[in-house]
Amino acid sequence: MDLSRIQFIKDSNIYNLNKIDYVEQLIVKLGFNTEILREQPKIVKDNGGGLFIWQYPNQFSKYLCFIKNFNISSYIEIGCRWGGTFVLTIEYIKRFNEITEGIAVDIIDSPVNDYCKQTNNCKFLKLDSKSEQFKEQIYNRFFDLVFIDGDHSYEGVSNDFFITKKSGKIFVFHDIVNSVCPGVVKFWNFLKTSHKEEYDFYEFTDQYDEVLKSTGQSFLGIGVAIKK
């Protein structure tokens, strides 16, 4: 992971960080994880490396510009993998609010640990979100923003939501329209129906025509549930 690319965020004018088009191009500069190329548009394929972000720029830029309007100072990401999404989110939010706590979680070692060691109020936890140790870590804690991107089975994403439900305000789900993640799609649709009196729901699901034409499938997608 090339953490030097964080400087692109630090050097950006705050006015520009409010603009979706600018943020979209900024994400491209930060670099992507290109492990599953069939799911990726050319813009991602041509910009591999850097922070190894696993996002569509046209989705995540709109999402970031949306959540910046909330007073977010604490963040937990369940399923950080390489850590690019965690780093991007923390550094972007820091331009608008002070981060008092940022936690990245995964069941495997992650290079995001290096970032956390050199970043105030951030840490990496090598834990299974189904474990008692994880429950102990979040007990009596509250997070303004909870990003769920771990176990993509219906049971897995259900666990990650309900185990953090009392510990967060804004819940974000990755892969809500992903053709290869039916468990997440199913849970997101369940949540929108069963909890519509408790949460407001927002979706960022833009696709790339070139990927739709070559695969006939949709990928990724970000869903946001905000407690009323």
Over the stretch 214-227, which tens digit does the pLDDT of each residue have?
A: 999 999 999 999 99
**Total domains present in the chain:** 1
Give CA–CA dist 212/58, Å, rounded: 14
Helix (H, G, I), strand (E, B) or coil at 133: helix
Instruction: Indicate the pairing of strand 143-148 with strand 122-126.
Output: unpaired
Residue 148: predicted pLDDT: 97
Residue 116: predicted pLDDT: 96
Most confident range (mean pLDDT) of 37-41, 85-89, 110-114 is 85-89
Residues 174, 62, 205: CA angle, nearest 5 degrees: 45
pLDDT in tens, 177-224: 999 999 999 999 999 999 999 999 999 999 999 999 999 999 999 999
Residue 8: predicted pLDDT: 97
pLDDT in tens, 55-108: 999 999 999 999 999 999 999 999 999 999 999 999 999 999 999 999 999 999
Measured CA to CA in angstroms, residue 13 lies from 10, 16, 92 at distances of 8, 5, 12
pLDDT in tens, 137-158: 888 889 999 999 988 999 999 9
Instruction: Indicate the pairing of strand 168-174 with strand 222-227.
Output: antiparallel
Q: In what order do the strands lie in the sheet with 101-106?
A: 122-126, 101-106, 74-78, 143-148, 168-174, 222-227, 199-204
Give CA–CA dist 50/32, Å, rounded: 7
Query: What are the E-state strand segments in 47-166?
Result: 74-78, 101-106, 122-126, 143-148
Bridge partner residues of 222 (DSSP): 174, 204
Element (H or E) spanning 224, and its range?
strand 222-227
Q: Which CATH number goes with the domain that contains 47?
A: 3.40.50.150
Range of the domain at 89: 3-227
